[in-house]
């Protein structure tokens, strides 16, 4: 029971595990700002027509945000680790809270770009003004001509209006831009508070010291780099052997010849080994020694996800 409680609460540490994540999120936000500016200059063109303004304005904010969110989910390695975990082992090793928080980690990282897009769109105000100009009540405008209605209000974002309505257009634009920017600043404040609370919970709930957590982040980064580099070399050498077997020779450059001579490859890893090192990983300890990844766990020969006769694995946080 104690281990289950520890898993549920300390799993919060999966958020913002390293400074690299913060740097990446910052770069994503900057890229989104540039994309939104380009979109506003090149693509945004309010139709200034009743009923169409609302749909177009909301689509200009929501559709790109949705696309950016889906791209963020697709590009997140945790997404495919979770898919592999569910396919191979199911979620029996995770409590409902842990599964929910893992989804939260994926959704949180994927939300950086769409939230940035929405904030910039709201601060600029063009899409909001386009969407809601026709819904401004004429009675709220002092001395607004009674013979004009929503059809004329819908044309305010395009400035294609009679001269006697210019002052009303300025007032409507100012009012809607104020509302749009207010929502933008509120969204920034809400996100900032959530990030602050998440960071506080992460540091309070983490079972690792600051130095060990930094070491774990460095280990994961180095393991991933070395694994990718070694896999690329291994696959190249294996491909060279198979091509040579088919043609009788293989055309290699000098570097590739050196690789083939230096690193003999006898075969490929069986599927059970690939499955053992693939999927979501929850930080564990065995006999007091940390296991920093699925590959580390496999290399140490530790089997299973629960207590074993040889030692006890502590369930703490996802990698």
Strand partners, 284: 291
**Of residues 264 and 180, which shows the higher confidence score?**
180
Indicate the DSSP class of residue 293.
S
Contact 302, 286 (CB under 8 A): yes
Element holding 109 (H helix, E strand): helix 96-110
Contact 151, 50 (CB under 8 A): yes
Q: Which of 140, 146, 181, 172 is nearest to 48 (CA)?
A: 172
pLDDT at position 9: 39
- Tens-digit pLDDT profile for residues 228-272: 999 999 999 999 999 999 999 999 999 989 988 899 888 888 988
Q: Which of 171, 172, 174 is nearest to 182 (CA)?
A: 174
**Model confidence, pTM:** 0.69
Residue 5 confidence class, pLDDT cut points 50, 70, 90: very low
The rounded distance, in Å, linking the Cα atoms of 49 and 240 is 63
The rounded distance, in Å, linking the Cα atoms of 61 and 319 is 33
Strand partners, 136: none
Contact 220, 292 (CB under 8 A): yes
- Tens-digit pLDDT profile for residues 17-39: 444 555 555 555 656 655 655 55
- Tens-digit pLDDT profile for residues 48-74: 888 889 999 999 889 989 998 999 899
pLDDT at position 22: 53
């Amino acid at each position: 029971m104690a281990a289950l409680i520890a898993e549920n609460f300390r799993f919060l540490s999966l958020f913002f595990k390293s400074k690299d994540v913060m740097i990446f999120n910052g770069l994503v936000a900057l890229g989104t700002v540039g994309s939104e500016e380009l979109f506003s200059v090149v693509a945004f063109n309010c139709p200034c027509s009743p009923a169409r303004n609302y749909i177009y304005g909301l689509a200009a904010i929501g559709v790109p945000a949705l696309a950016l969110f889906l791209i963020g989910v697709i590009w997140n390695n945790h997404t495919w680790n979770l898919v592999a975990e569910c396919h191979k082992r199911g979620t029996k090793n995770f409590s409902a809270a842990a599964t929910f928080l893992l989804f939260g980690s994926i959704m949180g990282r994927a939300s950086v770009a769409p939230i940035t897009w929405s904030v910039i769109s709201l601060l600029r105000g063009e899409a909001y003004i386009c969407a809601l100009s026709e819904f401004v009540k004429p009675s709220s405008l002092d001395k607004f001509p009674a013979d004009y209605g929503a059809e004329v209000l819908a044309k305010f974002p395009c400035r294609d209006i009679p001269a006697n309505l210019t002052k009303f257009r300025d007032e409507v634009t100012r009012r809607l831009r104020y509302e749009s920017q207010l929502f933008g600043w509120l969204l920034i404040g809400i996100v900032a508070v959530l990030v602050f609370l998440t960071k506080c919970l992460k540091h309070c709930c983490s079972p690792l010291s600051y130095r060990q957590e930094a070491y774990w982040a460095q280990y994961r980064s180095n393991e991933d780099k070395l694994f990718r580099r070694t896999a690329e070399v291994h696959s190249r050498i294996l491909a060279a052997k198979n091509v040579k077997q088919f043609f009788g020779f293989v055309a290699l450059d000098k570097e590739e010849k050196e690789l083939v001579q230096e690193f003999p490859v006898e075969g490929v890893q069986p599927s059970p080994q690939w499955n053992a090192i693939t999927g979501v990983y929850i930080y564990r300890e065995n006999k007091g020694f940390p296991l920093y990844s699925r590959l580390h766990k496999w290399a140490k020969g530790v089997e299973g996800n629960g207590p074993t006769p040889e030692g006890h694995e502590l369930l703490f946080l996802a990698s």
